[in-house]
């Protein structure tokens, strides 16, 4: 393996140049830095569980797998912090030849899954996470968390600038109730 080994690196010496050979591998690792921005992200201390199947093909090593991790999130409706399980699938070809168009290569008879898993996890993180599907959010007046199933309705107080118009509406309604409609 190379001098820049990461916890996501897997030795594949037994598969190199043997098309048709396959091996399954499980590993646990943690990202070197925070993954994700905004309301949901994976902390550096979080363990990523990876189940991967490595297949030798003529062009390189095909890695197919599933990565599972738990992200720290903040509900976009009520601002409550919660833990969000994230599970992603990935498929990537690690090419033998550096001249190929492949983004990833086999280096020193090893492959490094860190960037592949990082990209898949970032794409799976929601832009607006919610702690539960029926989250009602916050009351816009008091700022307190609304109970599930509660619908917010604005207070009945009128803006003083519109009070004169409300008076006109009341006068029109009173006139309609006094005069019966003619058919």
At 138-155, the pLDDT tens digits run 877 787 888 777 766 666
- Give the mean pLDDT of 62-71: 95
- Residue range 83-113, pLDDT digits in tens: 999 999 999 998 887 765 778 888 888 889 9
Half-sphere exposure of 46 toward its Cβ, with a 13 Å CA cutoff? 23
Report the pLDDT value the prediction gives residue 88, as an integer from 0 to 100.
96
Does 92 fall in a domain? yes
| 51 assigned to some structural domain | yes
Burial of 119 (0-12, 13-18, 19+ CB in 10 A): middle
139 occurs within a structural domain: no
Domain count, the chain: 1
63: confidence class by pLDDT, cuts 50, 70, 90: very high
* 105 within domain boundaries: yes
**Cβ-based neighbours of 88, under 8 Å, separated by 6 or more:** 66, 67, 68, 117, 120, 121, 123, 124
pTM exceeds 0.85 for this model = no
Which pLDDT score is estimated for 124? 95
Minimal CA–CA distance to 147: which of 132, 158, 136?
A: 136
| Residue 59 covered by a domain | yes
For residues 17 and 50, the model is more confident at 50
**In this structure, what are the phi and psi dihedrals at residue 68, rounded to the nearest 5 degrees?**
-125, 135
Give a yes or no: residue 165 inside a domain. Answer: no
Residue 171 maps to a domain = no
Residue 2 has pLDDT above 50, yes or no: no
| DSSP labels, 99-137 | TSS-SEE-BTTEEE-HHHHHHHHHHHS-SS--SSTT---
Of 81, 91, 51, the residue nearest 69 (C-alpha): 51
175 in any annotated domain: no
**Domain hosting residue 114, numbered range:** 9-124
Q: Report yes or no: 124 and 88 within 8 Å, Cβ to Cβ.
A: yes
Q: Are 16 and 55 in contact (CB under 8 A)?
A: no
């Amino acid at each position: 393996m190379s001098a820049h080994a990461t916890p996501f690196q897997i030795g594949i010496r037994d598969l190199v140049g043997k098309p048709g050979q396959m091996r399954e591998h499980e590993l646990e690792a943690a990202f070197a830095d925070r993954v994700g921005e905004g309301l949901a992200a994976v902390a550096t201390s979080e363990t990523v569980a990876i189940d991967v199947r490595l297949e030798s093909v003529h062009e390189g090593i095909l890695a197919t797998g599933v990565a599972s991790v738990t992200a720290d999130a903040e509900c976009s409706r009520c601002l409550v912090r919660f833990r969000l399980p994230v599970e992603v699938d990935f498929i990537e070809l690690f090419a033998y030849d550096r001249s190929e168009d492949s983004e990833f290569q086999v280096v020193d008879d090893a492959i490094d899954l860190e960037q592949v898993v990082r990209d898949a996890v970032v794409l799976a993180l929601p832009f607006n996470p919610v702690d539960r599907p029926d989250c009602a959010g916050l009351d816009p007046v008091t700022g307190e968390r609304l109970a599930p199933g509660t619908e917010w309705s604005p207070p009945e107080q009128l803006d003083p600038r519109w009070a004169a118009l409300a008076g006109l509406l009341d006068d029109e309604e009173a006139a309609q109730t006094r005069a019966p409609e003619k058919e």
